Structure formats: structure tokens, C-alpha cells
């Protein structure tokens, strides 16, 4: 993993002029949004929200760093922050006597995969980090044995010396296309930009077939935050692959009896598993 650092100064703020407003600063693909409010007669509250959608697609889950007021007043503290997908805000409360006109310096760190930004061809070509060869449809794919073994029981067994395949210099893979398989492994390596609504089902099938739960987790994140799928399509996919986070999200969004009726009348609903239907029935009982 590589640690990247971004340093940016915000615009100079007149505190009174931005009260109750959002002030955005772009920090190299990370958007920092500042909201200023009055909490009491003598205090300001500064709240920052960080968004990094494009970096999330590259596997960046966590940001940390400091927010430093650019002032000579030593009473104004710097803020150490750590945010992730579940908590994306940080805040500071100060006396009004401390701040009038002030810019902030943002110093943001994040960890990036060593494989981030590489093309499929670059990921799977011969290199120092790739020490095994898979052959799919006559095409050689050079992979990292330790990485695949760590994330997959299937590959742990495949590369084991207890299996004849583990002793081969080149291991043939059957009943899978190079394009689909390489895309799935690239997502495992951290290239989430390859996740598209029209290839998720195939990705989930391969993640299940080759026992790669980390890929399934990446897909769940995509479905939660980036997918444009209609609700019935999302529900079918979540039920088919037992994506509990997605099922719970859909159920929580059914917050009226009318929405439940609409769902019940959809063609997809009656093909859901009994377990998922029971969850929707329980939700209906809560709404009545």
C-alpha cells in the first residue's frame, strides 16, 4: 500500500459572511465542505464533510489528517481527523473571540493500493510481484500467489502443494472467460472503477465461484453508493447472492404501505427467497 498526501489551502473566509452556508474546497479529488453555525452567543461551530467518490472507486476507504487554521493566534487548535464511509464529518467549536477572517490548511492522507491505476494488461503481465501463471483460453495471466491465497479459499487450495495444480508452472482455468475473470481479479486488486451496473451479476457469480468475499464486499459498496439500478433489479440481485446489507437498505426505504403494495405487485417480488419475503412481511407489520 502507498500513502498519498494532499495539501490545500482554502479560500479566506469572513466568518460572518459564511454563517449558515457551505464553503467547498477541492483537494485533489477530495471535496471538503465547511459549514459554519453559531451554537451559543459566544461560540462558532465548524463542521467539515469530506467526499471522495472517485477515490472510493480506486479502493480508498479511509481518510485521515489535520485541519489547521492559518492564524497567528496559538489559542486556535488544529484538528486531527479520521473519516471513513460510515463517518465522513469532523467538527470544531471555538470562541467567537478567536476567529474573524481565516483560511484553513487541509492536509489529507489516504492509502492507495499498489495496483491502483494499472490497466488490465499491466496488472497481469510478468513482474516481480507476480509469481504464478493462470492460463485462460490460451491467454496467460500472471498473478500474485500470496494475494490470491489470502483473499480466497479456492486459490489457497489451488496453489497448495497438496494439489497437483499447485506444482504446475502454468495452471489452466476452465469454464471462465479471460475478460470476465481478469476484471473480477482487478476489482480484488482495488480497481473498483471497473464495476458497472451491467457487469455486476457476472462479477458476483465469479466471486462466489472462486470464493472471493472481498470482491462481493466491493460490489455491495458500489450498489449502496453508486448504482443506478431500479429497485426491483437491485432486490433480485441482492436476494440471489444473499447481499444482506443491500436487502436491509431496500427494506428500510420501504417506509409506507403504498410502497409495500407497489413492491408486492412487482414481478420480481414473488421470485424472491422465502427468507427475504419474511423480512418484507415483518416490515409491513411495522408499517401497519
Mean pLDDT taken over the chain: 84
Angle CA 59–166–145, to nearest 5: 20
Just give the CATH number of 2-112.
2.60.210
Predicted local distance difference test score (pLDDT) of residue 172:
92
Residue 256, pLDDT above cutoff 80 = yes
Predicted local distance difference test score (pLDDT) of residue 101:
60
- C-alpha 26/C-alpha 79 separation (Å) is 19
Q: Which of 189, 52, 57, 67 is nearest to 120 (CA)?
A: 189
Of 102-111, 266-275, 276-285, which one has max mean pLDDT?
266-275
Domain boundaries, the chain: 2-112, 114-232
Q: Which of 147, 157, 205, 162 is nearest to 181 (CA)?
A: 205
Residue 123: Cβ-neighbour burial (10 angstroms; 0-12, 13-18, 19+) = buried
**Going by CATH, does the domain composed of 114-232 fall within 1.20.140.10?**
no
Predicted local distance difference test score (pLDDT) of residue 213:
94
Percent of the chain with pLDDT over 90: 27
- The torsion defined by the Cα of 76, 82, 83 and 88, in degrees rounded to 10, comes to -10
Beta-bridge partner residues of 36: 19, 46
Predicted local distance difference test score (pLDDT) of residue 241:
96
Is the pLDDT higher at 151 or at 121?
A: 151
With 0.75 as the threshold, say if the pTM is over it.
Answer: no
- C-alpha 275/C-alpha 58 separation (Å) is 34
> Contacts from 221-228 at CB under 8 Å and sequence distance 24+?
221/56, 221/85, 221/192, 222/192, 222/195, 224/249, 225/53, 225/56, 225/85, 226/53, 226/57, 226/195, 227/197, 227/200, 228/197
Percent of the chain with pLDDT over 70: 89
- C-alpha 49/C-alpha 55 separation (Å) is 15
pLDDT band at 90; cut points 50, 70, 90: confident
Q: Are strands 62-69 and 79-84 parallel, antiparallel or unpaired?
A: antiparallel
Residues 132-156 pLDDT 10s: 999 999 999 999 999 999 999 999 9
Is the pLDDT higher at 64 or at 166?
A: 64
**C-alpha 238 chain-centroid distance:** 17
Is the pLDDT higher at 17 or at 256?
A: 256
- C-alpha 11/C-alpha 136 separation (Å) is 53
Residues 187-211 pLDDT 10s: 988 787 788 899 999 999 999 999 9
Which grid cell sits at 105? 490548511
Residues 22-53 pLDDT 10s: 788 888 889 998 888 887 667 778 888 899 88
pLDDT band at 1; cut points 50, 70, 90: low
pLDDT band at 73; cut points 50, 70, 90: low
Amino acid at each position: 500500500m502507498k500513502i498519498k498526501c494532499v495539501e490545500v489551502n482554502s479560500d479566506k473566509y469572513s466568518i460572518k459572511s459564511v454563517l449558515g452556508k457551505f464553503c467547498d474546497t477541492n483537494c485533489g479529488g477530495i471535496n471538503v465542505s465547511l459549514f459554519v453555525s453559531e451554537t451559543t452567543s459566544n461560540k462558532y461551530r465548524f463542521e467539515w464533510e469530506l467526499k471522495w467518490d472517485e477515490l472510493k472507486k480506486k479502493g480508498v476507504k479511509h481518510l485521515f489528517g489535520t485541519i489547521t487554521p492559518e492564524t497567528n493566534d496559538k489559542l486556535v487548535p488544529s484538528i486531527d481527523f479520521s473519516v471513513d464511509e460510515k463517518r465522513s464529518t469532523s467538527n470544531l467549536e471555538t470562541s467567537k473571540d478567536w476567529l474573524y477572517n481565516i483560511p484553513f490548511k487541509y492536509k489529507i492522507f489516504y492509502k492507495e493500493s499498489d495496483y491502483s491505476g494499472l490497466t488490465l494488461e499491466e496488472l497481469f503481465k510478468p513482474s516481480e510481484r507476480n509469481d504464478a501463471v493462470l492460463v485462460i483460453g490460451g491467454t496467460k495471466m500472471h498473478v500474485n500467489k500470496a494475494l490470491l491465497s489470502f483473499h480466497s479459499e479456492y486459490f489457497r487450495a489451488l496453489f497448495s502443494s497438496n494439489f497437483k495444480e499447485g506444482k504446475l508452472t502454468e495452471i489452466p482455468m476452465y469454464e471462465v472467460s479471460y475478460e470476465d475473470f481478469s476484471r473480477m481479479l482487478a476489482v480484488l486488486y482495488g480497481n473498483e472503477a471497473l464495476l458497472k451496473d451491467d457487469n455486476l451479476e457476472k462479477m458476483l457469480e465469479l466471486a462466489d465461484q472462486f470464493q472471493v468475499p472481498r470482491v462481493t464486499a466491493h460490489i455491495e459498496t458500489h450498489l449502496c453508493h453508486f448504482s443506478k439500478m431500479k429497485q426491483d433489479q437491485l432486490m433480485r440481485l441482492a436476494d440471489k447472492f444473499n447481499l444482506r446489507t443491500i436487502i436491509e437498505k431496500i427494506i428500510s426505504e420501504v417506509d409506507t404501505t403504498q410502497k409495500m403494495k407497489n413492491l408486492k405487485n412487482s414481478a420480481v417480488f414473488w421470485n424472491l427467497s422465502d427468507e427475504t419475503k419474511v423480512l418484507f412481511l415483518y416490515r409491513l407489520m411495522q408499517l401497519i
